[in-house]
Each structure stands twice: as C-alpha cells, then as structure tokens.
C-alpha cells in the first residue's frame, strides 16, 4: 500500500514531441485513480512512466517515500494489467501467475499459497493447468488480474484492461475490478478512453488533453462542474451541448443569425461582448410549457430533426431556431445543433418547432477562446 506522487513529470521524445507536459498530482493510499482522455492525450505514456517502462524526461515520481525515477520496473513494487493481457503463451495459468514470484525468489510454498488464493478470489482455480490459448477473453482477463494480485504490490496499474472484451463482459468485469480494488485496498491507477468506465470506476478522475491535466476531481464534480469545454464534451454521453453566444445587456444572444431565444445571464465575470460558450447537458432542458424561463434561465426554440429512443428515455436531435425565430426563416443547417433528453413516451416528428428552457444553475459558461470555465 502506498501513495504515488507526480511532480512536474514530462515526457519528451527524441523527435522533440512532448507527450506529457508537466503533470503533477498526488494519489492517496488505497485510492482508485482513472486517467481518461482521447487517444494521444498522454495517459498511457504517463502510466508507463509510473510503471518504469518509459523513461522520465523531467520531474519526479514517488511511490511511497521512494523516488522511483531510476528504479527498474521490477523493483517499483507495482503490478500492471495490459490491454492485450500479455500472458506468456507457452506457460500454464499457474506458471503465468508464479513467474514473477519465482524471479523474486519467493519460497515455493508461499508462491503456491498466493497463486491458489488469487485463483480462489478470481474463480480461475479450474484453469490453472491450461494454457492461455485455451481460455476465453474474460478468463484471460482474470488471469491477467491474477498475475497482478499475486505480487501483493503497492499499486496496481491498469492499461485499458477491458477494451478487448465484449460489451456485456466489460460491464461485468468493471464491477468486479471495483469490488476487488475496494476489498484489497490497493492504490490503483487505471487508464481508459471510455468515459463511462472512468466515471463508474474512479474515486477521482484525471482528464488529460494534449499531455496536460485538464481537470482532477471525483466523477460527480467533474460531471457537474467541468473545468473546460473539452471536459464538458468528453465526460457524459450524449455530450454536453455547447452553444456559442455573445452577451448584450446581460442577455446571452446566440451567434447564429437565425437563432431565437436567449438567456439572461448575470454574474460578475460576464460582461458585454462576444466570446462565450454556454454548456447545457441534454437532461437539463425542460419544455417551456412546464417551466417558463425565469431570470437568468436559458430559453431556446428548436426545430426537431431526429428522435432517438434508447429505451428508458429518448434523445431529441434538433437545430436551434424555428418558425417563430426573429428572422422568420426556416431552421437551416448552419444553425447549431442540440441534443435534448425527453421522456421515452415523447412522440416528436421531424420538423416540429418546440421551446425548451434550462435553469440558470444548470448553464455552464465557458470562455470561447480558452475554453475554460468562467466562475459564477
């Protein structure tokens, strides 16, 4: 069990490409941290630097009290689960689990005890003599987990361990990983590009973009208070609606000429002028008939295009504007699109003109140029 701390960690490749740009964070003992971001954001590189598989160009990484920058992966007291599992194909499951322990000179009966224990926890006892080739994807995943568990390491590192599984198995293993991590209490760093996986697993999320940390926080606060348009659009599905606006006399006006509606935005930092992006989650729109716009609320008139039922609810795709728009023109394709969650019972046809409002405290203002959240 250990804390992990990163201080201004950088990775600069020989060609001069900076894959990780000065990342600092502290991971508490027993915490489950998820690094999430699109491909190429540096999340895997960061994880591999913690593992010792990638050299650290600058900065310091500590595991426990020890600076590990120059320490071999085998001596960092970590275990890693790989995306393709990286099981040794010529060894039985038992030997796959035991190999690392043998290399460290763990006594034979101790190895046997640990392997049996891990096999019991992961329910792979029946396959111990099989080769990885003879196992299903889910079983291989468990073996890869087992290889990490038997080492009883200070930290688990997961590199997209579930992305080779089918959807159903992925959900099942996700729950299992969380349960296992909680019961073992081992500090874990988990890399994924799947925001849902990140949300469900993490004690704290680290959203990475272009090699730098965009936001750190627990999943709910990241979801509810995204620090930037990048985080806003990356976390949550369907993504948060981002509507470009200008502000005139305290009221937000949509940038597109044809648009109707607007929001009375107040607050110390929202002065007049262009350059804002308003974010609203699909589930925060309410039909105007149910909740008329109050002061500071956003109201929108939209023309529906597609209704997408997903079962428990439906998502309405629409363009901003409509027949009642000030310009009077029909909604055109250049108008911004929005996604609105509606009840599953809703039966909208394409081309309907509807009005929605969103409460003031559900509107997220961002600076249009920097993309950063504007505090209210």
Partner 1 sequence: MSRFKPLDHLILMLGAFVMIAPVVMAFLTSTHSAVEIHQNGLMLSLGDEFLSTYGKVLTHKGGFTGQVTGMTMLMNSLILGVGFAVGKIILSMLAAYALVYFRMPLASLFFWIIFTTLLLPLEVRILPSYEVVQGLGMLNSYSGLIVPLLASATGTFYFRQFFRSVPEELVEAARIDGAGPVRFFLDILVPISRTMIAAIFIIMFVYGWNQYLWPTLMTNDEGYYTLVRGIKTILLAWIGSNIPEYNEAFALTILAMLPPVLIVVVFQSWFIKGLTESDK
> Given the rule CB under 8 A, which residues bind partner 1?
48, 51-53, 72-74, 78-80, 82-90, 99-100, 103-104, 147
Whether 121 contacts 152, CB under 8 Å:
no
Question: Shortest approach of partner 1 to residue 95 CB, angstroms?
Answer: 10
Question: Shortest approach of partner 1 to residue 49 CB, angstroms?
Answer: 13
Neighbour-count burial of 75, counting CB atoms closer than 10 A to its CB (0-12 exposed, 13-18 middle, 19+ buried): exposed
Sign (positive/negative) of CA torsion 330, 333, 335, 339? positive
Using the minimum distance from each CB to partner 1, give the nearer residue, 64 or 210. Answer: 64
Question: Shortest approach of partner 1 to residue 116 CB, angstroms?
Answer: 19
Question: Shortest approach of partner 1 to residue 332 CB, angstroms?
Answer: 50
Residue 62 pairs in a beta bridge with 5, 67
How far is the C-alpha of 343 from the C-alpha of 345, rounded, in Å?
A: 5
Using the minimum distance from each CB to partner 1, give the nearer residue, 53 or 353. Answer: 53
Residue 304 pairs in a beta bridge with 318
Cα within 13 Å of Cα(42), Cβ side:
24
Question: Shortest approach of partner 1 to residue 91 CB, angstroms?
Answer: 8
How far is the C-alpha of 316 from the C-alpha of 148, rounded, in Å?
A: 45
Using the minimum distance from each CB to partner 1, give the nearer residue, 89 or 107. Answer: 89
Question: Shortest approach of partner 1 to residue 82 CB, angstroms?
Answer: 4
Return the number of other C-beta atoms located less than 10 Å from residue 15's C-beta. Answer: 5
Using the minimum distance from each CB to partner 1, give the nearer residue, 52 or 365. Answer: 52
How far is the C-alpha of 210 from the C-alpha of 305, rounded, in Å?
A: 34
Neighbour-count burial of 95, counting CB atoms closer than 10 A to its CB (0-12 exposed, 13-18 middle, 19+ buried): middle
Using the minimum distance from each CB to partner 1, give the nearer residue, 154 or 335. Answer: 154
Using the minimum distance from each CB to partner 1, give the nearer residue, 90 or 113. Answer: 90
**β-pair type (32-36, 18-27):** unpaired
How far is the C-alpha of 111 from the C-alpha of 99, rounded, in Å?
A: 9
Question: Shortest approach of partner 1 to residue 88 CB, angstroms?
Answer: 6
Using the minimum distance from each CB to partner 1, give the nearer residue, 99 or 317. Answer: 99
């Amino acid at each position: 069990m250990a804390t992990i701390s990163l201080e201004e960690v950088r990775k600069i490749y020989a060609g001069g490409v900076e894959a990780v740009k000065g990342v600092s964070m502290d991971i508490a003992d027993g915490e489950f941290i998820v690094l999430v971001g699109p491909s190429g954001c540096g999340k895997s590189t960061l994880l591999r630097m913690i593992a010792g598989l990638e050299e650290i160009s600058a900065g310091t990484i500590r595991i426990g009290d020890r600076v590990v920058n120059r320490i071999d992966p085998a001596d960092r007291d970590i275990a890693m689960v790989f995306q393709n599992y990286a099981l040794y194909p010529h060894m039985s499951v038992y030997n796959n689990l035991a190999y690392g322990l043998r290399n460290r000179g763990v006594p034979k009966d101790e190895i046997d005890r640990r392997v049996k224990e891990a096999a019991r926890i992961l329910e792979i006892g029946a396959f111990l003599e099989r080769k990885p080739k003879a196992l299903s994807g889910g079983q291989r995943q468990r073996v890869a987990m087992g290889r990490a568990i038997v080492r009883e390491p200070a930290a688990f590192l997961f590199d997209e361990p579930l992305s080779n599984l089918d959807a159903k198995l992925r959900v099942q293993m996700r729950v299992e990983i969380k349960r296992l991590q909680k019961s073992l209490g081992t500090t874990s760093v988990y890399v994924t590009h799947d925001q849902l996986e990140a949300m469900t697993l993490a004690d704290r999320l680290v959203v990475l973009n272009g090699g730098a940390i965009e936001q750190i926080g627990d999943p709910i606060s990241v979801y509810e208070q995204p620090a930037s348009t990048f985080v806003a659009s990356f976390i949550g599905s369907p993504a948060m609606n981002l509507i470009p606006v200008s502000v005139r006399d305290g009221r937000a006006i949509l940038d597109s000429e044809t648009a109707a509606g607007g929001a009375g935005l107040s607050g110390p930092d929202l002065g007049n002028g262009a350059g804002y992006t308003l974010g609203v989650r699909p589930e925060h729109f309410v039909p105007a008939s149910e909740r008329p716009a109050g002061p500071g609320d956003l109201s929108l008139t939209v023309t529906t295009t597609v209704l997408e039922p997903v079962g428990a609810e439906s998502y309405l795709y629409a363009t901003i504007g409509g027949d009642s728009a000030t310009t009077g023109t029909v909604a055109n394709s250049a108008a911004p699109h929005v996604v609105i969650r509606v009840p599953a019972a809703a039966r909208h046809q394409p081309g309907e003109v509807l009005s929605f409002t969103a409460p003031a405290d559900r509107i997220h203002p961002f600076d249009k140029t920097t993309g950063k959240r504007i505090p209210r």
